């Protein structure tokens, strides 16, 4: 799902709900929200909106409670691409991906490992995620009807060793929620995504923010689904939209037999 998120959860929630209502009826269905789907703003907005990861449904704060309801009401696997979550005892927070099953149960989560501390030639200019966020330490693989899901977030895409570790642990679908800038996205988004699919012989599902945000930021969009041969099956250039494509699990197995590159790896 591609969005143009803003500072306020209520507005972003309405945008997501509208796109969820337009989903096809076929199930099982995997839905990936982009990075910052709930809150897209400045440092204080993320700090104020961060939620503690719920250990039980009754403890879920508003964003997580809504995600669980959507997954259950729609009967979908819903991956909340990235939202701010609190770290007990810290003045920093995590940016975290949460996976909900069709019963509304959170099956797992991932805290973004690689933080975007970069200067970019756009109207924002300076990005320093480490001023607000602390990096995660663990890779995350979640079992699902689509095969094991390998979780990542945005800037992680530039670090192939993360995806190789996920594929070595059995990932068949790599998820890349993002808020790639227009400058870096135009140059590198699609080549990096296709490379991660080809080198790991996995499907890649990439949900990006896609347009002009109220903060003045410009995101690249071009959310897409890529098969293990590196073919783009579907994409959306910009604006809010559902991006849909079927997955053929047999393709992964066929490629692994015909071109067993993962078995031929000599450097680890």
Residues 42-66 pLDDT 10s: 899 999 999 999 988 889 999 999 9
Say if CB 143 and CB 150 are below 8 A apart.
no
- The residue that leads in pLDDT, 82 or 58, is 82
The rounded distance, in Å, linking the Cα atoms of 243 and 2 is 7
For the segment 162-188, the average pLDDT, to the nearest whole number, is: 97
Count other C-beta atoms under 10 Å from residue 182's C-beta.
20
Q: Would you say residue 189 has pLDDT above 70? A: yes
Structure tokens at 228: 């293990």
Q: Would you say residue 124 has pLDDT above 90? A: no
What residues have CB less than 8 Å from 212, skipping those under 6 apart? 4, 218
For the segment 126-142, the average pLDDT, to the nearest whole number, is: 95
pLDDT above 70 covers what percent of the chain?
Answer: 99
For the segment 1-10, the average pLDDT, to the nearest whole number, is: 97
CA distances from 15 to 34, 64, 210, 242 (A): 13, 16, 13, 11
CA angle 115, 180, 104 (to 5 degrees): 80
Active site residues: 35, 112, 154
Q: So what's the pLDDT on residue 259?
A: 93
What residues have CB less than 8 Å from 12, skipping those under 6 apart? 3, 5, 6, 37, 38, 39, 40
* CATH class as words, domain 9-258: alpha beta
Q: So what's the pLDDT on residue 54?
A: 94
pTM of the model: 0.96
CA distances from 226 to 132, 175, 202, 208 (A): 32, 11, 9, 14
Q: Which of 202, 204, 200, 201 is nearest to 224 (CA)?
A: 204
Helix (H, G, I), strand (E, B) or coil at 168: helix
What residues have CB less than 8 Å from 58, skipping those under 6 apart? none
Q: So what's the pLDDT on residue 268?
A: 74
What is the average pLDDT score of the chain?
96
Query: Per-residue pLDDT tens for 218-235?
Result: 999 999 999 999 999 999
Q: Would you say residue 123 has pLDDT above 70? A: no
What are the extents of the domains in the chain? 9-258
Q: So what's the pLDDT on residue 219?
A: 97
Q: Would you say residue 120 has pLDDT above 90? A: no
């Amino acid at each position: 799902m591609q969005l143009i998120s803003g500072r306020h959860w209520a507005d972003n929630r309405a945008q997501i709900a509208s796109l969820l209502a337009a989903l096809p009826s076929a199930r099982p269905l995997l839905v990936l929200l982009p990075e910052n789907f709930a809150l897209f703003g400045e440092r204080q907005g993320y700090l104020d909106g961060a939620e503690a990861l719920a250990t039980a449904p009754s403890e879920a704060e508003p964003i997580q409670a809504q995600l669980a309801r959507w997954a259950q009401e729609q009967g979908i696997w819903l991956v909340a691409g990235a939202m701010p979550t609190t770290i007990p005892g810290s003045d920093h927070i995590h940016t975290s991906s949460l996976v909900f099953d069709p019963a509304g149960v959170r099956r797992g989560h991932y805290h973004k490992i690689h933080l975007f501390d970069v200067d970019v030639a756009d109207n924002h200019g300076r990005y320093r995620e480490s001023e607000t966020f602390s990096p995660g330490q663990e890779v995350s693989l979640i079992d699902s009807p689509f095969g094991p899901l390998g979780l990542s977030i945005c800037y992680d895409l530039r670090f192939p060793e993360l995806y190789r570790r996920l594929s070595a642990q059995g990932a068949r679908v790599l998820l890349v929620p993002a808020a790639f800038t227009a400058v870096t996205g135009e140059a590198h988004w699609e080549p990096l995504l296709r490379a991660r699919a080809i080198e790991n012989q996995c499907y890649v599902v990439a949900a990006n923010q896609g347009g002009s945000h109220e903060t003045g930021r410009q995101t690249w969009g071009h959310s897409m689904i890529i098969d293990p041969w590196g073919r783009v099956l579907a994409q959306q250039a910009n604006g809010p939209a559902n991006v849909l494509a079927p997955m053929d699990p047999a393709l992964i197995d066929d490629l692994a037999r015909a071109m067993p590159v993962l078995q031929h790896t000599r450097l680890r």
